[in-house]
Amino acid sequence: MSNQFKEQRIAIKDLSLWDENARFPDEYFNKTETELIEYFLSSEKIYKIKSFAKAVVDDFDLPQLEKIVVLDNDERLIVLEGNRRLTVYKLLNNPELITNLNIKGFFKNLSSRISIDENYKLDCLVTEDQGQGLRYIERKHEKGNNEVGWGDAERAHDKDRRGRAKKNDFLKIGISKIVRKLNLPEKLKENVLGRGYVTTFFRLLVNQQAWDIFGFKLDDRGNLTVADKDFENKLKVIILNILKKKNFNGDRLDSRSLNKSEQIEAYLKSIKKEDVTKVKEEIEKSSQKTLWGDTITTIKTGTKRSFPKSSARKYLIPRDCILQIPQTKINNIYKELRDDLILDDTKKSVPNAAGVLFRVFLEISIDYLLDKEGISLPEKAKLTQKINKAANFLEANEIAKKDQLANIRKVATYRNNILSIQNFHDYVHSYKSEPTSNDLKTKWDNLQEFFEILWEYLCNRKSLKKTP
């Protein structure tokens, strides 16, 4: 495929914000640039324009790392990718675009630290084919630019190698080295130091309680020594407990159950010699040889539904998500979403069909629950009301815990959230809004636990007393 882009340096005065950028609601189509900028400034928590601007000024002497993607439509040079960045440069050049006096003052102070005017040029990739430009948006916002973010251990290594490491950074490095040398399956070591578990792992070990209990010490060069001669064995227990999200007594072990120093201390002191034996037995029981003679472990670790989750699968619903749905139509929709409607990067992908059907599955699943429980709502009740009624019922009857209902409540509560019901509505009613395969899979990953709880209850339903 031939390259349909040309590299240019373009003055910020000649670049226009894109009113159809996904960050802008439908009502901002055809709005003025000033109105688009005001929208970005309307929520610092979401768009972080002020913090972005400060970072730009702090690193103003550095060459531009990420190019702006521009569509040349013969009338204007429209920024398809880089609207927040362009907004920052326009405001640094002209703080008078801002009506809020406090924010205006903030940008005036920042712009006084640099030399910038309307002719300041940005590195751009320019195309006349909007479809080609949108490929960059997909790569960055759907695929994370194919980047892998650093974890705690990597950040600690970076600080060490740049001479900026502190006491806890050296401790993380030292513990990571010990973990990698442990006689444990590589999968377990990789998992505990990877995304989803490493935060809990270091919360347990990088604190004063752990320093005292295990006798951690750092020499002048940051090398770690441990007074507790049995530390490596205890570390194996900690690793397995964290991955399974529970200790050997069956008590919950995660970020919520370890958010106080006394909870951490109690857990660390509770580790017994017999626990080390249990780790060995469980690993041996769960190990098997491959055809090539390698040993792998089949230990099932606790699943942490992070946001966003990997979306490499071909369909909306993972094959290992088994829902037993007694109602024929709803079960057929579930089967179509799990087995028929393809969501990948091929031409056979049908995100529009999957998005619409996903929204239908969500609503009629909740309707089925409300109907079976005799929970009445006004005839024209909105889906948000139905969701809240269903969630209240499940929580009141102890069918689901509060944290297990957090994501479904987000559907009914948060507009500026990927789970927002408005996004589901747009799949059906907006001709300008089109779901992406990755977004749909991310939504399912965050709502799967709710559907599993809902349909497990409905399959084994008994008469309940409490109502929402």
Torsion of CA 432, 433, 438, 444, to 10 degrees: -160
Work out the average pLDDT over 382-392. 89
Q: What CA–CA distance (Å, rounded) separates 46 from 43?
A: 6
Burial category of 319 from C-beta neighbours within 10 Å (exposed 0-12, middle 13-18, buried 19 and up): exposed
Q: What is the pLDDT of residues 199-252, one digit of tens each?
A: 888 888 988 999 999 999 998 888 899 999 999 999 999 999 888 888 888 888
Q: What CA–CA distance (Å, rounded) separates 370 from 364?
A: 10
Q: Which stretch, 22-26, 113-117, 247-251, 262-266, has highest mean pLDDT? A: 113-117
Work out the average pLDDT over 112-123. 95
pLDDT of 465 over the 80 cut: no
User: What mean pLDDT, rounded, does the chain reach?
Assistant: 83
Residue with the larger pLDDT of the pair 328 and 197: 328
Report phi then psi at 9, rounded to 5: -105, 120
b/e sequence 129-161, b meaning 16+ C-beta within 10 Å:
eeebbeebbeebebeeeeeeeebbbeebbebbe
Work out the average pLDDT over 358-370. 91
For residue 47, the model assigns a pLDDT of 83
Q: What CA–CA distance (Å, rounded) separates 251 from 254?
A: 10
pLDDT of 406 over the 50 cut: yes
In this structure, the number of other CB atoms found within 10 A of the CB of residue 288 comes to: 10
**DSSP labels for 194-217?**
STTTHHHHHHHHSSHHHHHHHTEE
For residue 148, the model assigns a pLDDT of 57
pLDDT of 306 over the 50 cut: no
Band (pLDDT 50/70/90 cuts) for residue 274 is confident
pLDDT of 294 over the 60 cut: no
Domains contained in the chain, CATH given: 6-146 (no CATH), 152-297 (no CATH), 328-459 (1.20.120)
Work out the average pLDDT over 263-283. 88
Report phi then psi at 287, rounded to 5: -100, 145
Work out the average pLDDT over 11-22. 91
For residue 309, the model assigns a pLDDT of 42
Band (pLDDT 50/70/90 cuts) for residue 462 is low
For residue 147, the model assigns a pLDDT of 59
Q: What CA–CA distance (Å, rounded) separates 415 from 405?
A: 17
Residue with the larger pLDDT of the pair 160 and 328: 328
Residues paired with 342 in a beta bridge: 315
For residue 467, the model assigns a pLDDT of 47
For residue 324, the model assigns a pLDDT of 86
Q: What CA–CA distance (Å, rounded) separates 167 from 156?
A: 10
Percent of the chain whose predicted confidence (pLDDT) is above 70: 87
- pTM for the model stands at 0.43
Q: What CA–CA distance (Å, rounded) separates 436 from 442?
A: 10
Band (pLDDT 50/70/90 cuts) for residue 98 is very high
- 54-58, 359-363, 408-412: which has the minimum mean pLDDT? 408-412
pLDDT of 308 over the 60 cut: no
Work out the average pLDDT over 138-167. 69
Work out the average pLDDT over 83-101. 94
For residue 143, the model assigns a pLDDT of 63
In this structure, the number of other CB atoms found within 10 A of the CB of residue 389 comes to: 21
